[in-house]
Each structure stands twice: as C-alpha cells, then as structure tokens.
C-alpha cells in the first residue's frame, strides 16, 4: 500500500495532465498530444488510487479492470467515426449509473456504521469506506447524506437521459420531440416529489426514499431528452457530458476522493461552457436546454414553392471546372457515407487546378461537437482551409460553387425566413447566396430532424442524389 501523501501527489499530477488535455483539445494541431495527456493522466489516476490506503478487494477489482479494458479496446477498434456520438452518449450513461450505485452503497455503509456504533460502539469489520464514515462527526454525516442525494439525482438523470440520447442518435428511438400528456408539468411534479423525498431522507427516513428518488430522477432524465428533437441532439450530447461530470464530482465528494472531484468539475464545467457556446450558435436559451424545452415545432410551417431539380455527375463536374472559388459544407451525411477521403481527393484536385477551396463548418454540424473537424483531419485536409461559420458566412455571396454534403438544418434558410420553423432564429450557413449550390443527398426525405429545407427548391440549387462517397468519387475522373 502507498501512503496517502504519495497518492495525493499522484492525484495532483493526474489533474494537471487532465487540464493540459482539455486545453490542448482546443487546437487541432495539438489535439493528438492532448489525447495522450488524458490517457496518461487516467492511467496514473487508476493505478495510484488502486494502491492507496484502505483499498482492498483486489481479487474482484483486478478482473473487473481487465474485463473493462478488453471491452473498451474491442469497442474502440470496432466503432466507426459515424457511431462516435452514440458511443459518447452510452459512456455518459455508465458514469451516471455508477454515481447512483456508489451513493446507494455509501448510504448502506453509513447505516451499518451507525447501527454497530449504537450496538456496542465498535466496528467489527472495516471496509475502506466504512472506515471513512466511522471517523465522521454527526454534522459531517449530514453532509455525506446531502452528497448521496445529489449523486443519486444527477446520476439517475444522466443515466436515462444518455440512454435515450443513444437511442435517438443510433436511430433506435424516434428523433422527433415527444412528451407524455402534461409535458413539463410532469417534470416539475417529479422534481418537487424528489425534493420532498430528499427532505424526508435527511430527516431520518429509510432507504426506500433513495430508491424512490432514483426512480423519479430516472423518469426526469427519460422525459427531458424524449422532449428534445433530433435537430438539437449535438447540444444534448454536450449537456449530458456536463451532467456526467457533475455526477463524477458527486461520487468524489461521497468517497472523499480529491481526484474525482477535480476531474468531475473539469468535465462538468467544460461541458456546460461548450453547451452554452453551442446554444449561442443555435440561438437557443441555455435554461431551455437544461429543462428540455426546445426542439419542437412553433406553429404551421411556411409553404415551400418550386420543385427539387436533380443534376448528374457531369453537370456538377462541369460547374466545378468552370468555378474559381468553391466552398464545401459537410454534415452528418458525409460521416455516414465515410466520404471524407473522397472529399479530400476532390479538394486536392481542385487546388491543383488553381481554384480556391475552403470548408464551412457549422458549430453543430454532425451529431457531436467537432465531428466534422475530426473527420476532415483524419482525411488530411489542411487545417487552414477549414473555417468556422463566423469566418466564412460573408463569403458565400462571392463564391461560384457550394457543395453541401449531407447537411440539412445548418444550411436551412427557414431558420431566418420562417418564424414557425423548429429552428427559427438559429444561425445557419448562407449557402443559398452563392451562384450555384449542389446538394449531395441520398434522397428527397427531410433527414434526421424531420424539417423540410427550402434550400432544395431554390432556383440556384440542384440535387445531386446518391451515396456521398460514390457521388464524390464519380466526380474525380472528370476534373480537369
């Protein structure tokens, strides 16, 4: 066993590595090194925590670590980038459920310690946590109870919310916003009952209060995320990331583990900041996001006039050969088709021909923050031509050709033109201002969010139907 001082020093080192990891992820060129900081930090955290004072049960711990490592490795090798958003949501659910289990266990240990104290004043068998509880004064035990309540509530909301988010992202649950009759009143009622149960528990009620509290929080998490539409799922994933961080911090307080507190606070605060930034990018109210009150229709949508006109590969290639400036706007359809390498080849040919080629990236493109940036970096697209929405939006009016690959909501003019649209007020890429717009899309459907897009019917827009990778590859032999 290592001394507590040594474990604390290791915790500080791991915390520094986590901070460096988060800081490095803000820059594409430093991201790989930042990931390694996080990996090393987590390895240090797990190793030195496992060897800390009062830790035992290695006969169970070591097999569980090995099993988890094997499962994690297999998943990492099998999961495609297109499935990364739902994988992240699933991992968030694990953190939330762990918080619930730890909080339940903590209260059972607290009750056992108090019962044995009352019986003979002696503890017959000390677990690491029981030993910790046994040293606490009555007022400190009250703080422990508060931590238990917070851990259960935040963890349970995170668990079911993340499970529903996983289902929506994976297409196993309908992406449209759905709520039970009563809507937000049900959430409010469940929250009030949760508060009442917490008060009863803090005043000495039995373990049943924690079980009911968890059930109510499970319902709140489920109902909150079910009420959010598919168009807003990137914000939901970021929000659940924040929730999972606070759940981890709650576990840290319960176990008196400084590293968990620091790590949870880092994840929770960074997730909250990212959610706020994304809400600003979508013109959403942050409080509404937390309460699950957005993503639904606002009224009858405006009627769309015109028709969708298709074009073949020859027509698109001819326009690209004649163009001087090209902007490519990728979306989730590019990820689904794994078309990033084909897009990179197209960019290389266009640039070799002396054309100006850039990418326009919306903050919520794809189903995970930074999704498109990661795919393009994987395909070795130069960082300097990948521009954010604010950097490129004014340039569409002077651009010859825009190619939209699998995007819908982020290029939807209804966000600015139709106050009844579910995405009304959301800042979008103004691709329709370009001379010509080609939309690479599988078919005429409304896409994941179910929102019709007037862009597809505009006079300067043409629909280039087909699988994104096959469609882009079809253009390559025709480029001059």
Active-site positions?
Answer: 409
**How far apart are the C-alpha atoms of 382 and 375, rounded to whole Å?**
12
- Judge whether 455 and 461 are in contact, CB under 8 Å: yes
- Judge whether 463 and 426 are in contact, CB under 8 Å: no
- Judge whether 458 and 327 are in contact, CB under 8 Å: no
3-state helix, strand, coil in the chain (%, to 5): 65, 5, 30
Can you read off the two tokens belonging to residue 260? Answer: 């968990």
The burial class, CB within 10 Å (0-12 / 13-18 / 19+), for 473 is middle
**How far apart are the C-alpha atoms of 309 and 439, rounded to whole Å?**
10
The β-bridge partners of 387 are: 360
The β-bridge partners of 462 are: 438
Q: How many CB atoms lie within 10 A of CB 237?
A: 28
The burial class, CB within 10 Å (0-12 / 13-18 / 19+), for 363 is buried
Angle at which helix 31-50 crosses helix 58-78, to 10 degrees, equals 160
Supply the DSSP string of 138-164, one letter for each residue.
Answer: HHHHHHHHHHHHHHHHHHHHHHHHHHH
The burial class, CB within 10 Å (0-12 / 13-18 / 19+), for 123 is middle
Closest to 236 measured CA to CA, from 131, 325, 166, 340: 166
The β-bridge partners of 439 are: 404, 463
DSSP state at residue 282: T
**How far apart are the C-alpha atoms of 67 and 195, rounded to whole Å?**
38
């Amino acid at each position: 066993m290592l001394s507590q001082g040594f474990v604390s020093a290791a915790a500080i080192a791991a915390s520094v590595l986590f901070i460096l990891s988060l800081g490095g992820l803000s820059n594409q060129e430093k991201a790989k090194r930042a990931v390694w900081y996080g990996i090393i930090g987590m390895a240090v955290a797990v190793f030195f925590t496992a060897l800390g004072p009062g830790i035992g049960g290695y006969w169970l711990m070591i097999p569980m670590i090995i099993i988890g490592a094997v499962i994690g490795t297999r998943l990492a090798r099998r999961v495609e980038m297109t499935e990364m958003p739902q994988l992240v949501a699933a991992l968030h659910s694990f953190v939330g459920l762990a918080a619930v289990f730890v909080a339940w266990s903590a209260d059972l240990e607290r009750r056992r310690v108090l019962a044995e104290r009352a019986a003979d004043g002696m503890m017959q068998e000390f677990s690491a946590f029981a030993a910790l509880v046994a040293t606490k004064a009555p007022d400190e035990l009250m703080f422990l109870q508060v931590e238990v309540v917070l851990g259960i509530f935040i963890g349970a909301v995170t668990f079911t919310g993340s499970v529903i988010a996983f289902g929506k992202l994976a297409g196993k649950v309908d992406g449209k916003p759905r709520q039970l009759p009563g809507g937000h009143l049900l959430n409010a009622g469940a929250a009030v009952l949760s508060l009442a149960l917490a008060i009863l528990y803090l005043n000495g009620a039995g373990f049943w209060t924690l079980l009911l509290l968890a059930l109510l929080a499970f319902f709140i998490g489920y109902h909150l995320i079910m009420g959010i539409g598919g168009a807003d799922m990137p914000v939901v994933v970021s929000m659940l990331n924040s929730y999972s961080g606070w759940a981890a911090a709650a576990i840290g307080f319960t176990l008196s583990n400084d590293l968990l507190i620091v790590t949870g606070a880092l994840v929770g605060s960074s997730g909250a900041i990212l959610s706020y930034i994304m809400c600003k990018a979508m013109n959403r109210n942050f409080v509404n996001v937390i309460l699950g009150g957005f993503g639904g229709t606002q009224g009858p949508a405006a009627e769309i006039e015109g028709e969708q006109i298709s074009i073949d590969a020859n027509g698109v290639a001819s326009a690209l050969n004649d163009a001087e400036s090209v902007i490519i706007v990728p979306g989730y359809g590019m990820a689904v088709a794994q078309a990033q390498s084909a897009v990179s080849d197209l960019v290389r040919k266009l640039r070799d021909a002396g054309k100006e080629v850039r990418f326009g990236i919306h903050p919520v493109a794809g189903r995970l923050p930074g999704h498109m940036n990661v795919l393009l970096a994987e395909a070795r697209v130069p960082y300097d031509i990948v521009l954010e929405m604010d950097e490129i939006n004014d340039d569409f009016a002077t651009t010859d050709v825009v190619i939209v690959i699998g995007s819908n909501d982020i290029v939807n003019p209804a966000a600015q033109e139709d106050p009844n649209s579910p995405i009304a007020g959301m800042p979008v890429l103004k691709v329709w201002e370009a001379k010509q717009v080609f939309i690479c899309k599988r078919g005429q459907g409304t896409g994941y969010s179910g929102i019709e897009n007037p862009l597809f019917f505009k006079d300067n827009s043409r629909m280039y139907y087909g699988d994104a990778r096959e469609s882009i590859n079809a253009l390559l032999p025709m480029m001059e």
